[in-house]
Structure 1
Amino acid sequence: MALNSSRSTLSSACTALRQCRRHASLSISPISISLSSRQLSTTPARCVGEQAPSLEQLSQTPSEKEPTSERSSKPRWSYTPEGMKGPGFSINVVKDPRRKIWVVNEDPAALDVMYQRLLGTEGNRLLPDEIKWLAITHKSFDFGRRGNNTRLGYFGRQVLAVESTRTILVSTINDLNGPIPDSYGRTPFSHPALTNADKLNEVHPQSLIDREKMASVAVDVGLPSVMRWKPRLPENLEGSGIVAVLNTTMFAIFGAIALQHGSEAAQRLFRDRLLSRLQHKR
């Protein structure tokens, strides 16, 4: 019984499909065929009597069509692009309006002083102006509309992790306790090529680039006063995650140097300008 019902359903479906195909073939007219064969135009429609644009006007870019007086002479880091601004209102309702007020540095001279303290007397000339501002801009600033240092921070973290591991492997570490005796009296395998690898059992790369130490060095060079970010609680910066933001910014600076000048330059600056300060932190 069920088999017969399924057969009847299939036959009725096939009949309906054939009828739809027959009606579709009859409804095609020469007008629709001619419309389908026409090419689509990307130029806007013109009114009757309007003069067609010349070849020079079509070849101009949108920026060239705008008058020079309307172009902004400000650097890219100093303003929010008009195309990224919202409709003029925000759906973010803040319980305390005072928390929306947070002033960041806009003085390039103050930023150069920080780079000189961190990277040396010529540290402010190692990066272009746009990259210098991008490296110290957190994603919480201006809703991320001026760019942020998240990807630079991730890349810089990997560069410093590799250099920290290399520093441990080439350093001299005295094992005061000696080899750990085996409870079964076995002799562990030893080889000269594995001597440096055993150093990682005593000192970890995370201990060299500790979060608290990195944040302390960032405070010493004056990074909090020039860093662009928006804390969630302006009255409680530690609760807003300033330690994590300072670490990301420090990593982003060295990540930008590695991309601009190569990993060797970033590793040399890490050993000369940052590692010595980190080792003196307790």
Structure 2
Amino acid sequence: MASNLSTRAARAACSASKAVPCTQAMLIPRRTFATGPESSTGEAEQPRWSYTPPRAKAPFSLRLHSKRPFFHVNSDPALLDQFYIRMLGNGGDKILSDELKWLAVTHKSFDQGRRGFNDRLAFLGKRIVQLQASLALVQNPETANTAVKKDDYGRTPFTHPALDGLKNLSPETKNFLTDRSKLAELAQKYDMQKILRWTPRKPDDLKSSGLELILAHTMYAVVGAVSLEKGGHIANKVAQERILEPLGLKTVS
């Protein structure tokens, strides 16, 4: 009896709906979200980094009547390739795919993050650089403090050449060598600021807008991108030869 009542109620609901029949409504596919360019509009040939996805555009300008000065952001692939050659050496423009090359230098402030941004790449790259900095400190015992504190009981501490570098390994030493300002200064030597894609809070005052932080963040992101595309071995070499050695921390291969 209960099943008959539920069946009648369902039929009544279907007949009451004049917009779409029930059988037709069941066949309507669920809405899917495009993850790439739409070929129907001719945008399939455009690289993903070069435009904002149509479905991600806001219905109105988020900067209506804004008095903020316009900030130019690089869109020239040749200029980007020159940066990767300066940072990664000869052939550096061939190490990463085009999409990843742009993603690594894109901050989340650019285009409201709608073209992707480099936070996860920077997280990976920072772990790699910090690890290589730790290994370099351990492998350089000559920079350690050789003074040994006198023991009150006349005991002699155990020493071994493989343990001499542990005196260097401290969070303070590692943070000093990989300080944000030093990384930002190195990034400026590579002319990273010319190809960095971001939207500063104050276009007429980049320093107070956090340029130093974003440059260091992007340096890590490039290392993370190399690790993602070419593996950890190549990323370790980039961290050693292109970041730590210019900062004065030589590694032993």
TM-score interval (norm. to shorter): 0.7 to 0.9
How far 1:256 moved relative to its partner? 0.7
1:226 aligned partner, one-letter code? I
2:79 maps to 110
1:187 maps to 155
Write the mapping of 1:62-211 to structure 2, written as runs, cut at 5 A: 70-72=41-43, 73-90=45-62, 94=66, 97-99=67-69, 101-175=70-144, 177-182=146-151, 184-185=152-153, 187=155, 189-192=157-160, 194-201=163-170, 204-211=173-180
Does the C-alpha gap of structure 1 residues 175 and 271 become closer, same or farther in structure 2, counting only changes over 3 Å?
closer
How far 1:207 moved relative to its partner? 2.5
Q: Which whole-Å deviations, capped at 9, do the CAs of 1:197-244 have from their partners, x for residues lacking one? A: 223259722232221111111111110010000110111111000000
Does the C-alpha gap of structure 1 residues 114 and 91 become closer, same or farther in structure 2, counting only changes over 3 Å?
closer
Q: Which has the larger radius of gyration?
A: 1
Structure 2, unmatched stretches of 5+, are 14-21
For residues 114 and 222 of structure 1, the distance between their equivalents in structure 2, rounded to whole angstroms, comes to: 7
Stretch moving more, 249-258 or 198-207: 198-207
Does the C-alpha gap of structure 1 residues 91 and 174 become closer, same or farther in structure 2, counting only changes over 3 Å?
closer
Does the C-alpha gap of structure 1 residues 129 and 202 become closer, same or farther in structure 2, counting only changes over 3 Å?
closer
Q: Which whole-Å deviations, capped at 9, do the CAs of 1:124-172 have from their partners, x for residues lacking one? A: 1100000000000000100000000011111100010001101111123
Stretch moving more, 119-128 or 271-280: 271-280
How far 1:92 moved relative to its partner? 7.2
In 1, are the aligned partners of 2:141 and 2:165 still within 8 Å (CA)? Answer: no
How far 1:78 moved relative to its partner? 0.4
Instruction: Say how many residue pairs are matched.
Output: 235
Does the C-alpha gap of structure 1 residues 174 and 164 become closer, same or farther in structure 2, counting only changes over 3 Å?
closer
Does the C-alpha gap of structure 1 residues 180 and 93 become closer, same or farther in structure 2, counting only changes over 3 Å?
farther
RMSD: 3.3
For residues 180 and 40 of structure 1, the distance between their equivalents in structure 2, rounded to whole angstroms, comes to: 85
Q: TM-score, normalised by structure 1?
A: 0.73
Identity percentage of aligned residues: 33
How far 1:93 moved relative to its partner? 6.9
2:27 maps to 43
2:9 maps to 32
Q: Which whole-Å deviations, capped at 9, do the CAs of 1:259-279 have from their partners, x for residues lacking one? A: 111111111122222222111
1:88 aligned partner, one-letter code? F
How far 1:196 moved relative to its partner? 3.1
How far 1:28 moved relative to its partner? 3.3
For residues 87 and 214 of structure 1, the distance between their equivalents in structure 2, rounded to whole angstroms, comes to: 39
2:177 aligned partner, one-letter code? L
1:232 maps to 201
Q: TM-score, normalised by structure 2?
A: 0.80
Does the C-alpha gap of structure 1 residues 188 and 75 become closer, same or farther in structure 2, counting only changes over 3 Å?
farther
For residues 89 and 168 of structure 2, the distance between their equivalents in structure 1, rounded to whole angstroms, comes to: 31
